[in-house]
Amino acid sequence: MVIQYRTSYFMFIAQTTSTTKEPNTNVEIELITDTIKIYKETGTISFINLLLLLLASVVVIQNHISKIRLLKTTTGNIIAYINKDSVQQKKKIEQILIELRALTDADRVVVGLFHNGTSVGSFHFTKLSLAYESLKTGITSLRKRYKNIDVTGIEDELLTYQSDKFTRNAISDVNVDNGCKQYLNSIGLEAVYTRLIPVNGEKNNYYGVIQIQFASEHNDEISEDRLKEVEKTYNRLLTALDFVRRNKRIPD
């Protein structure tokens, strides 16, 4: 998987070039390669880069050990379960996303959730995957493209977003930087409204991000009056997501 980071929004251009089930070390190997390149060019290495180099090396070694262990074990099936409650939970959240899309006339509404990938001790390589999505007819799904995306190192950029209101970024906005415009172009968007999803009752902890996406410049802005209506529906979404986060059943 090749990941190219774009700061200041949600967030990245990801192109899958492998379907292997084995542990993936591409990100760590890129970090090691970049650090060695910097050392060759400057003749010095910072303490932070040295620390990250050591952490990445440990991850690569661990993953190679895991591959060796996999070779020594017989192949077997892993059982996964689905049930009516989990399907209904998903449908309830996606129904709220449909309402948000209808209210805003958006082309796509997505919810990405943060989760832990590989880790070294207490240091986690944070990942993000699209958990929920609502699409207008003819709009391509992003769920497969944005799965297990490594966001380690750009958490500060994510925290530039707020949880109490949506932040708008549009190609037509002269104040939007080129990285954001490139991200929007990569998935055929004219504008996005982004907002962090906070843990209920905690102002500084977030477990996800929501984005309302527009593919056409003719309808890519939500009026202030309409945003007030959006807020009510969004609060229902927060409540439903919090039930899922706490592994509780969403009330009817």
For 7, the domain range is 2-72
Give 39-90 pLDDT, tens digit per residue.
Answer: 777 777 777 777 777 777 776 676 655 554 544 455 556 666 677 888 899 9
Q: Do 144 and 200 have their domain in common?
A: yes
Q: Do 116 and 195 have their domain in common?
A: yes
- pLDDT at residue 18 greater than cutoff 50: no
- Average pLDDT of the chain, as a whole number: 79
Of 207, 204, 209, nearest in space to 242 by CA: 207
Q: Do 120 and 224 have their domain in common?
A: yes
Q: Do 44 and 66 have their domain in common?
A: yes
| Residue 231 pLDDT grade (very low, low, confident, very high; cuts 50, 70, 90) | very high
Q: Do 204 and 93 have their domain in common?
A: yes
Give 170-183 pLDDT, tens digit per residue.
Answer: 998 888 888 888 88
Across the range 160-176, mean pLDDT stands at: 89
**For the chain, how many structural domains are there in total?**
2
Question: Is 144 among the domain residues?
Answer: yes
Q: Do 62 and 129 have their domain in common?
A: no
Of 31, 46, 72, the domain-final residue: 72
Of 218, 236, 214, nearest in space to 99 by CA: 236
Of all residues in the chain, the percent with pLDDT exceeding 90 is 36
Q: Do 125 and 19 have their domain in common?
A: no
Across the range 18-41, mean pLDDT stands at: 63
Of 226, 13, 200, 239, nearest in space to 101 by CA: 226
Of 20, 41, 72, the domain-final residue: 72
| Residue-level pLDDT at 242 | 93
Question: Is 51 among the domain residues?
Answer: yes
Query: Can you point out the beta strands (E) in 31-184?
Result: 108-120, 123-135, 149-150, 167-170
Of 209, 198, 122, nearest in space to 157 by CA: 209
CA 200 – CA 241 distance, rounded (Å) = 10
CATH code at 237? 3.30.450.40
